[in-house]
Amino acid sequence: MATGAGSITGATAVSDSTGTATVGSWTLGTVAGSNTLTATAAGLTGSPVTFTATGTAIEGITLNITNPNGASQYYVVVDSGGLASPLNFARTVPLAKTASIVLSVPAGSGYRVRVMTVDSLSTSPLSGPTIRAGKRLSGVAVAANATTTVAVTTQAMNLTLTAPTSVTAAQGVAVQLGLRDPSEFFVTPNFCGVVFASMTAFTTDGTAGYISICRAQTVIGRDSMTVLDTLPPQGAAGTLYMQGYFYAPSLTIGTSTVYPRIYSPSKERSEALRAVSVTALTSAITVSITSPAARRYFVAVDSGGLTNPLVQVINGTAMTSGTVTIPAPPGTGYRVRV
């Protein structure tokens, strides 16, 4: 080895029957520049022979990551800094609370780097990863022919589902999803949250009927947001089981598309679903109707503290009278429209 401070294995090589001699391996030095390897055969014309390889510096970012949880899968998005489009990266490493990953990023400044840590219990980490922690960095610079090393301490993602502990069968269920996202990848204006809900307990994430939660959205800074909405009345007594869900913009990495997500409570982590007790109604509003001949009566009750209108329909032929009974919680100020 003449230059380059690299290393070789099998340095003492003997030619075979064809006159060919090989070394086990040649590892270039850690400094960019020329590396040479010299082969000598005593008594042969042309000896010695020198082989030259030029090592170029890696240009990019090294992230030394510390997590609150063990992880083996990471997703990183680098943008801003003059990039025409974001650079998306996926990295698989041994399961641990720390990791060092290298990203190829051109020289520049003002980069935003967003790191997402995949939950170690995620059942689809390479396509629909459940994100457990994250962090955003800003103003990262990369010098020409150099690597910038950055320490990253991720913080836990937090999705909270808020709902009443009990409702009547005729009441809508007011729900709120609150998201804190240290990666700042999920907090996207005009994105809705989702609530999966069923009167039967479910054991797998995202397998119940779902309702988009979009009625009122509030973005709080760069890393937090809330969304509000109301689930329709359940109509029968029992227990309503619910799970909150948020999704992020998809990532294209090579030929793959990745859909980051977060559930709360998480069945992957064996967490108990949010339970709302739905009680039967013992009170009602009865409306007696007299009319010209009709084939259908619509009756709607609202106001009086109701979250959603209560509606009943009677169908018939040439009806001139009828009685409609609508279960309603005790209260005052109801408006009845026929």
pLDDT, greater one: 10 or 77: 77
pLDDT tens, position by position, 281-308: 778 888 999 999 988 888 888 888 787 7
pLDDT tens, position by position, 42-78: 777 767 877 787 766 679 999 999 999 999 999 999 9
pTM: 0.72
Rounded CA separation 151/132 (Å): 19
Confidence (pLDDT) at 311: 82
Confidence (pLDDT) at 282: 79
pLDDT, greater one: 199 or 46: 199
Confidence (pLDDT) at 32: 65
Q: Is residue 226 a contact partner of residue 219, using CB atoms and an 8 Å limit?
A: no
What residue spans of the chain are helical by DSSP H? Answer: none
Q: Is the pLDDT of residue 270 over 90?
A: yes
- The CA dihedral of 44, 50, 51, 57, to the nearest 10 degrees, is 170
**Looking at the domain 60-156, which fold is it?**
Immunoglobulin-like (2.60.40)
What residue spans of 143-281 are helical by DSSP H? Answer: none
Rounded CA separation 158/132 (Å): 8
Rounded CA separation 213/246 (Å): 10
Average pLDDT over residues 3-18: 66
Average pLDDT over residues 85-110: 95
Rounded CA separation 23/13 (Å): 6
Average pLDDT over residues 204-221: 90
Rounded CA separation 13/64 (Å): 40
Task: Identify the CATH assignment for 158-279 out of 3.40.50.300, 3.90.100.10, 3.80.10.10, 2.60.40.10.
Answer: 2.60.40.10
Q: Count the Cβ atoms, other than its own, within 10 Å of residue 100.
A: 11
